[in-house]
Amino acid sequence: MTALETIDLGKRYGRRWALRECSVALPAGAMTALVGTNGAGKSTLLHLVTGLLAPTTGGVRVFGRPLEMADVAFVAQDKPLYRRWSVADLLRFGAATNPRWDHGRARSLLDAHHIAPGERADRLSGGQRTLVALALAVGKGARLLVLDEPLAELDPLARVRVMRAIRDLDATVLLSSHILADLAEVCDHLILLHEGRVRLCGAFTGLLAAQPAGHRAATLEDLVLEHLRAAGGAS
Separation of alpha carbons 100 and 82, rounded Å: 21
Comparing CB distances to ligand ATP, the nearer of 17 and 101 is 17
Bridge partner residues of 201 (DSSP): 191
Tell me whether residue 13 or residue 214 sits nearer to ligand ATP (CB atom): 13
Residue 171: count of CB within 10 angstroms of its CB: 18
State in angstroms the smallest separation of the CB of 53 from ligand ATP: 9
Q: Which among 31, 82, 80, 30 is positioned nearest to 52, based on CA atoms? A: 80
Binding stretches for ligand ATP (CB under 6 A): 13, 18, 36, 38-44
CB atoms within 10 A of CB 87: 24
Minimal distance, residue 164 CB to ligand ATP, in Å? 24
Nearer to ligand ATP, 41 or 141 (CB): 41
- Min CB(93)–ligand ATP separation in Å: 28
Q: How far is the CB of 43 from ligand ATP (least distance, A)?
A: 3
Three-class SS of residue 39? coil
Phi, psi of 204 (to 5 degrees): -55, -45
Distance in Å, CB of 62 to ligand ATP, minimum: 20
Long-range contacts: 154-157, Cβ < 8 Å, 24+? 154/126, 154/127, 154/130, 155/126, 155/127, 157/127
* Residue 32 or 44 with smaller CB distance to ligand ATP: 44
Question: Nearer to ligand ATP by C-beta: 35 or 90?
Answer: 35
